[in-house]
Amino acid sequence: MKEFFLKWYQYNAWANRRVISCIKQQSVSDEKILTVMSHLVSANFIWLNRIKDLPKSKYELWHKYDVSSLTKMVEEADALWMEFLNTTDNFDRVLKYRNYVGDYFETNVEQIMIHLVNHGSYHRGQVAMLLRERGFEPVNTDYITYDRVLSGQLKD
């Protein structure tokens, strides 16, 4: 399972960086786009802090961060997740936690980790739609595209 999660989170990092690069290159400052992207990135910190039993993340779940902050946040989140993945061998355990509104849950960490990347894909799709609606060109972040880049079939 560890190899799966390493590749899964490398993909997530690649996709998030592509979206941030796309937003930067087109000088996107749209509030809704930045808010959705901020939510996506903030969730990476919130979940990792829960999993590692750390204090609540300093990043708010629904706050609009600027592109410069988002760039740093993506890099930090990617590094923290890769460190966690590289230093952890078993993710099959139950996490007991309260969500951001205080509701209590017990969830397997593996399921949370799958959810988090899926959550990112969902919101990157929203960002792509919003970019297109506002006259910008979104970037492809499909997993198969990532795999093709990795295998050398496509250039990044």
pLDDT for position 45: 98
DSSP codes, 6-57: HHHHHHHHHHHHHHHHHHHHTT---HHHHHHHHHHHHHHHHHHHHHTTPPPP
pLDDT for position 100: 85
pLDDT for position 55: 95
Mean pLDDT per 10-residue section of the chain, whose length is 156 residues: 95 98 98 98 98 95 96 98 97 95 96 98 98 98 96 92
Beta-bridge partner residues of 94? 108
pLDDT for position 94: 98
- The CATH architecture to which 2-150 belongs is Up-down Bundle (1.20)
DSSP codes, 68-112: HHHHHHHHHHHHHHHHHHHH-S---SEEEEE-TT--EEEEEHHHH
Task: Report domain extents, the chain.
Answer: 2-150
Which are the contacts of 139, defined by CB distance < 8 A and separation ≥ 6?
A: 18, 19, 21, 22, 128
pLDDT for position 156: 87
